[in-house]
Structure 1
């Protein structure tokens, strides 16, 4: 009973630490990985001592790495790699090799580390955190930016490079150096890999097909875990890394029709167990080094960042083709150490390549480098904000002359809504001028619609509005994507040309109120499409077409009346809430009356 209580106590401590610390770290924009590491530090022997022996959970926590590598293998389909081959194997390989050589050389020559230790140290620190980097980019909505796409490609190659590095550590340790070639061991390795390949090709798909037919979610989950853990166990029996076996299993199933099902089943376990791994790493971190050797720890952290950043800057600029601030943004996101360094260095310590003191310093260095990354990003954002740069626009668009005589309509923004307005006006031979600041949008609209009167120009500039002859127009259509830009354009047009009628695209009810106050007629961008979706849903549920149409019209009229009433009190939040409550009750009454009338008439 005592042992069971101890196990339960450990589980409770782990879960409590994760639940309390990780959301706080995410709220502070420090990332989940750093949150798990901090939780481990807090409950580890160097702080509170709630968990006195970090090694007691190491075997379970390593399953998180196994599942992570299986997911990475699943995502590395040959087709995807081929599409991204230049960025992945060009920029990615250059970054890992150059950074590994530089850091390894510094460790060997400056810090007098053994050559084998320097090789592992250089390549391990060359890797960045996939989870941390992608999360930071996603939080800042930069995944689709040029530096975001290149960062993804480099991280993808780093994930691939981690596999041979993990497999290389036992060879570098020289554990079997004096025993010569073990033929039986070699046959065991080749046979295990062959068994995984044959099983992955010919056995797994029929098995998944049978399991899928049962319709039992728990059996599907058990099968997915069996594939991953079973393959890892088989590879461990053959003397190969469990992680390498899991990666191989994922790679074989990358093109399987069950790939997404497998990923969805494994993902929750991977996240939890990988979090457990990071907590165990944090538990093993010796925080006392910050007190006893603060200059050494901080110095190593700065050296790591200062060695990686120039390489990333050069790779981003000369191989990735980034310009302006993008290489620096890339360098800041990827300058810290990564989660695979924890895995690699832990194995290196177990194999005798790292001294315990060196391992403790490196773990603390990587953790601090990750903690500094969000601060560097905030600093860089502030620097970039002080020096705003104009968009690069080809000369042909800068010098584009607006040569339409007396347009009746001026459209600002040729996106999802503006282009439809433009096509309808053109079909009716109504003269108009359309303005946009996105060169790609202008080129696409012209290619689809022939010589459309669409010109490059910022509608927030009075001289552009004058060149577009807005003063002679009857209507100004503000159809830009950004609500604030739309509002500012409406204000400017209303101030310069008060006689021009303005129709503006509105994103939300609060945006509607602002546009009405600015003198525009707002059109909610999703309102009418939502009404049509609702009408089709009612028809599909068996409601007669006449009644469905009447209900939709009733809702539209009622909502427009409520919107008008709320606009009168929109400065008073309590009055708006009260209006919404009364409107909800009134709408139910109206709908019930329409339904009763329909039943009576039928």
Structure 2
């Protein structure tokens, strides 16, 4: 069907076949992707120039083009309709569609963008796993392990209990919001530590080791709470099953994967067609993601495990280079979609009905900061350690926190005000941590050195979180 404006013979929906609507759905998807990439690139470039993580720019760009501002990209969730999407209106005008046909196009376009966003988060977690160092995870020291565990337990328990007791938030949404508080963005902290020449310091080693382990624990928590969100209720037996299942799946997949990885490398080496490394790796990642999904866990846990396994093979560097363009294409769709779905008007202080949401956002920010700062003071037996620096280094949530918000949004378990509060928490903790970390270390120059950073730092610096 040609997209000619004013076309007189466009039939009514009853006469429009699926084959005739498909080109219009494709056209609307292309317009949406143009909007997504422009928003992501402009926002990312702006943040990069003011020394902030580009991923925040992608999030803010999504907010601007979504329901909070320009209404270029909207989704059916939250009672949004095709009449609110300016892009669908453009397609409607240029193709001469009636409102009923425009609704079908809007629903098709939203489904495609949502699927691309889901693929984006799977690729993101695969890349995070690929850029992680499994040997470093295994060798992580007791101090880093203590910091990581407290950094997950303290904000999660305080956030969940506070939301239930103080704000009467239902249990499942409260658990999801509490889980979002557990995240730590290793890339953001690593970048600041590298700029301060602190990656090789005692504090830097503890922060990086703890943040890596924190990511693994956070992903397990995310898999558990996302599965709980599907059932809508919390049963102790189900929680135990999910926690044990997630741990067994992750450990088992890594163990079996390491045994089979030599066969994977041999197979890839014998393939002669183009893309043998990336295609074979994605087949492996999608297989583990499928297995995780079928046992009531999240697909992202399988993708992360696949990345950890393949990071141990000789194909790691080649795969890192080949996965980057795919990540550049799909991951921004996820972050911009998260921003586009976020209605920040629910945090407008001028509206009295929004004040409860603002108080919740303030509570989450306080718990997010204090819950990580206390981790530094859990370090014992190491005099001279800057414990405050360790705690502040664990504060930024970055894109890891946005993954929680995005999964919660997609599951429908979060209310608009709670989702917006989580987004505010992610933004503020990510903005505040770098300057505070610089300030804390500026008063303690004794450990600055020009020595090479840890082996792990190289991969951290090039991780999707540091380079997105």
Q: Does 1:256 align with 2:316?
A: no
Q: 1:174 to 1:63 in 2, by over 3 A?
A: closer
Listed one character per residue, the Cα deviations across residues 358-408 of structure 1 (whole Å, up to 9, x for unaligned) are 223322332233234445456x36xx76xx56749xxxxxxxxxxxxxxxx
Alignment partners' CA distance in 2, 1:315 and 1:262:
35
Residue 26 to residue 236, structure 1, CA distance change in 2 (3 Å) = same
Q: Does 1:316 align with 2:376?
A: yes
**Structural mapping, 1:406-445, within 5 Å:** none
C-alpha distance in structure 2 between counterparts of 1:201 and 1:28, whole Å: 42
Is 147-156 or 49-58 further displaced after alignment? 49-58
Query: Aligned residue for 2:212?
Result: 156
Structure 2: gaps (5+ residues)? 1-22, 77-109, 452-468
Contact 2:393 2:433 in 1 (8 A): yes
Which of 53, 57, 69 is the equivalent residue of 1:47? 69
Does the residue aligned with 2:159 lie in a helix, a strand or coil? helix
Aligned to 2:46: 24
Residue in structure 2 matched with residue 565 of structure 1 by the alignment: none
Matches within 5 A, 1:98-117: 98-117=154-173
Report if aligned partners of 2:261, 2:309 keep a CA contact under 8 Å in 1. Answer: no
Q: Deviations over 1:477-500 (max 9, x none)?
A: xxxxxxxxxxxxxxxxxxxxxxxx
Structure 1 residues 285-313: Cα deviation after superposition (integer angstroms, max 9, x where no partner): 21223434686566545433433444434
1:354 and 2:414 aligned: yes
Deviation at 1:159, TM superposition (A): 0.9
Contact 2:373 2:388 (C-alpha < 8 Å) held by counterparts:
yes
Q: 1:70 aligned to 2:108?
A: no
- Three-state SS of the structure 1 residue aligned to 2:51 is coil
Question: 2-side partners of 1:39 and 1:86: how far apart?
Answer: 40
Aligned position for 1:80: 136
- Which stretch has the larger CA shift, 296-305 or 105-114? 296-305
Matches of 2:215 and 2:180 in 1, distance apart? 11
Q: CA deviation at 1:319?
A: 0.9
- Greater strand fraction, Structure 1 or Structure 2: 1
Question: Matches of 1:170 and 1:17 in 2, distance apart?
Answer: 28
Q: Which residue of 2 aligns with 1:127?
A: 183
Query: TM-score, normalized by length of structure 1?
Result: 0.55
What is aligned with 1:283? 340
Q: 1:143-191 deviations in whole A, cap 9, x for unaligned?
A: 3333332221222122111232123125534729799x99xxx9xx999
Q: Distance in 2 between matches of 1:53 and 1:173?
A: 20
Cα offset for 1:27?
0.8
Task: Tell whether the 8 Å contact from 1:192 to 1:234 is kept in structure 2 after alignment.
Answer: no
Considering only aligned residues, what root-mean-square deviation do their CA atoms show, in Å?
4.1
Matching of residue 146 in structure 1 with residue 206 in structure 2: no
Pairwise CA distance, 1:345: 4.0
**CA 282–131 in structure 1, closer or farther in 2 if over 3 Å, else same:** farther
Q: What is the rounded CA distance, in whole Å, between the counterparts of 1:76 and 1:371 in structure 2?
A: 24
Q: Secondary structure at the match of 2:231?
A: coil
In the aligned structure 2, how far is the partner of 1:315 from the partner of 1:334? Answer: 8
Paired residues of 1:165 and 1:344 also in contact (CA < 8 A): no
CA offset digits 1:546-600 (Å, max 9, x no partner)? xxxxxxxxxxxxxxxxxxxxxxxxxxxxxxxxxxxxxxxxxxxxxxxxxxxxxxx
Q: Is the 8 A contact 1:345 1:359 kept in 2?
A: yes
Aligned partner of 1:553 in structure 2 is none
CA contact (8 A) 1:304 1:336 kept: no
Is residue 286–residue 364 contact of structure 1 (8 Å, CA) maintained in 2? no
Does the Cα contact within 8 Å between 1:64 and 1:271 map onto a contact in 2? no
Query: How far has the Cα of 1:328 moved from its partner?
Result: 3.2
Distance 1:17 1:328, change over 3 A: same
**Residue 14 in structure 1 maps to residue 36 in structure 2:** yes
Q: Tell me the equivalent position of 2:257.
A: 200
Paired position in structure 2 for 1:555: none
Map residues 455-466 of structure 1 onto 2, 5 A cutoff.
none
Whether the 8 Å contact between 2:129 and 2:306 is mirrored in structure 1 is yes
Question: For 1:181-260, what aligned pairs fall within 5 Å after superposition?
Answer: 200=257, 205-214=262-271, 218-260=275-317
Gap change, CA 1:152 and 1:295, over 3 Å in 2: farther
> CA–CA distance in 2 between the matches of 1:170 and 1:255?
28
TM-score, structure 2 as length reference = 0.69
**SS of the counterpart of 1:98?**
helix
User: Aligned equivalents of 1:37 and 1:24: distance in 2?
Assistant: 12
Larger radius of gyration between Structure 1 and Structure 2: 1
Alpha-carbon distance in 1 for matches of 2:47, 2:207: 23
Question: What residue ranges of structure 1 are gaps of 5+ in the alignment?
Answer: 393-436, 441-602
Alpha-carbon distance in structure 1 between the residues aligned to 2:446 and 2:250: 53
C-alpha distance in 2 between matches for 1:194 and 1:122: 25
Give the aligned partner of residue 523 of structure 1.
Answer: none
Secondary structure of the structure 2 residue equivalent to 1:126: coil
8 A contact 1:129–1:337 mirrored in 2: yes
Q: Distance in 2 between matches of 1:248 and 1:255?
A: 11
Asked whether 1:137 is paired with 2:193, we answer yes
- Native 8 Å contact 2:58 2:332 kept in 1: yes
Q: Is the 8 A contact 2:123 2:303 kept in 1?
A: yes
Give the number of the structure with larger relative contact order, counting CA–CA contacts within 8 Å between residues 6 or more apart. Answer: 2
